[in-house]
């Protein structure tokens, strides 16, 4: 199993409950795909480095996980079809 990390930014208009349910949804995708979550770091609402679609802040979350090579592709697909995700990135952890 390879190690990965993902950072995603959720829309700032979400309330606390909707934000938590989205994070749980993504954690569920990782766990149901055979992955193991090592760390979840919620950074909270922060200002974006640049404006995206007239939005200048969002909820940042970092998740470190390990899994097979198909898991990041599935997670990327879920990020793309979720309307509340502004931006996301998944990278292989080389540590």
Annotated domain spans of the chain: 2-92
Tokens of 31: 């766990």
Q: What is the DSSP letter of 34?
A: T
Tens of pLDDT, residues 29-85: 999 989 999 999 999 999 999 999 899 999 999 999 999 989 999 999 999 999 999
Judged against a pLDDT cut of 80, whether residue 95 lies above it is answered with: no
CB–CB of 5/65 below 8 Å? yes
Question: What CATH code would you report for 2-92?
Answer: 3.30.70.60
Residue with tokens 């950074």: 43
Give the separation between CA 88 and CA 61, rounded to whole angstroms: 10
Question: What pTM, to 2 d.p., does this model score?
Answer: 0.90
Give Rg (Cα) of the chain: 13
């Amino acid at each position: 199993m390879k190690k990965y990390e993902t950072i995603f930014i959720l829309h700032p208009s979400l309330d606390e409950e909707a934000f938590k349910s989205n994070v749980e949804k993504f954690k569920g995708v990782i766990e149901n795909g055979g992955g193991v979550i090592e760390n979840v770091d919620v950074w909270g609402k922060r200002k974006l480095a640049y404006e995206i679609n007239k939005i200048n802040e969002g909820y940042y979350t970092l998740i470190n996980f390990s899994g097979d090579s198909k898991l990041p592709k599935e997670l990327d697909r879920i990020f793309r079809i979720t309307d509340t995700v502004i931006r996301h990135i998944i990278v292989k952890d080389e540590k």
